Amino acid sequence: MRLHNTGAWQPGDPEGNRRFVTTHTAEAPLTLLSGRTLGPVTMAYEAWGELDADRGNAVLVLPPLSMSSHAAGPAGPGHRAEGWWDAVIGPGRPLDTDRFHVVVVNNLGGCDGSTGPASPDPEGRPWASRFPALDVVDQVNAEAALADALGIRRWHAVVGMSIGGARALEWAVSRPERVGRLFLIAVAAATRIEQAGHTHVELELIRRDPHFHGGEFYHLPEGCGPVTGMALARSFSHLRYGTEAYWQERFGGAAWYHDSDGCHAKFREYVLAQGEKVWERFDTNCHLVLSETALSATVARGRGSVGEALARITAPTRIVGFSSDRAYPPESQRDLAYGIRGARVRIVDTDLGHYGFLFEPGLIEPDLRQALGEE
């Protein structure tokens, strides 16, 4: 059955460079932290570069919430846009595919081929609102099962940014023997209260859309889903990932003060368009599930304290933050570095805000190269 009102990848769509692994079945499901089970579970990923005979050159990249596994390569069948980290992955680039086998995984609960709310349940119906709540622990358990299926017992490095960085932390804390090196970008040990407040507003914008229907909108005619709520939520989110200085420079600079009507119009059009683009390529129920997962993220759960959790990390660790990041302010990265033995931290002075690693990947290139062993 073809689902409506979703930007999720669906079976029958071009696969592009995606690869799929069934990590759990209905008979042998994934047991979640909540006590519920989920099966079958399919994990989608993309990979670049050859895997060595000893399988020791694999690098795991864990993307932010709304980014897919298509981190490198052109747009084309199966991929609406160029890879979101295309400048970073490839021969001679920081993630050098002549040296490394780079694996980028679509989040469990996502909508780009991995099992999520738009996926069929064991009876073949879309999970929709019945999809279980997830924890970062659950997502990493699924990723570990994928690594097992690929025969990768130990990652040369695990790289994570934003909420993907929370998963990278979980890898290093729960499976230190499987993480050779750790590189964390714009992340914290636990979700901050201001960040949580913004996320709650985003989710309410979606839930209060009269076309949300409690998440049961896949069967409705195309265009009858919560497009307004989803688009406004993502526009609101996009705003806080930039900064005052960045937006002024991009939309008028000094002219902002002299031609406010024209600059405001351009800015309004841009911001609203960003939300509409997310509606076209993402799934609203997946956004809710992944956002709720991010809200509950803390490396301390079940481990006493953040300090006790971070003390489990044995991998050489590099951490990068951005001076103007309002989602994960620099003190978050400094706190992480304080808790991880031998960790090195650098705060990049930039007006780009949280998405500095996307807007200008060159900002973190030297740190990434060093994190991978190019001292």
Residues of 38-71 as b/e, b for ≥16 C-beta within 10 angstroms? Answer: bbbbbbbbbbbbebeeebebbbbbbbbbbbbbbb
Active site residue 162: yes
Active site residue 354: yes
Active site residue 66: no
Which one of the listed residues 66, 119, 162, 235 is annotated catalytic?
162
Upstream peptide bond of 40 is cis (omega within 30 degrees of 0): yes
User: What residues contact residue 42 under an 8 Å CB cut-off, 6+ apart?
Assistant: 20, 21, 22, 23, 113, 114, 115, 119
Which one of the listed residues 96, 138, 283, 325 is annotated catalytic?
325
3-state secondary structure the chain: CCCCCCCCCCECECCCCCEEEEEECCCCCEECCCCCEECCEEEEEEEECCCCCCCCCEEEEECCCCCCCCCCCCCECCECCCCCCCCCEECCCCEECCCCEEEEECCCCCCCCCCCCCCECCCCCECHHHCCCCCHHHHHHHHHHHHHHHCCCCECEEEEECHHHHHHHHHHHHCHHHECCEEEECCCCECCHHHHHHHHHHHHHHHCCCCCHHHCCCCCCCCCCCHHHHHHHHHHHHHHHCCHHHHHHHCCCCHHHHCHHHHHHHHHHHHHHHHHHHHHHCCHHHHHHHHHHHHCCECCCCCCCHHHHHCCCCCCEEEEEECCCCCCCHHHHHHHHHHCCCCEEEEECCCCHHHHHHHCHHHHHHHHHHHCCCC
Residues known to be catalytic: 162, 325, 354
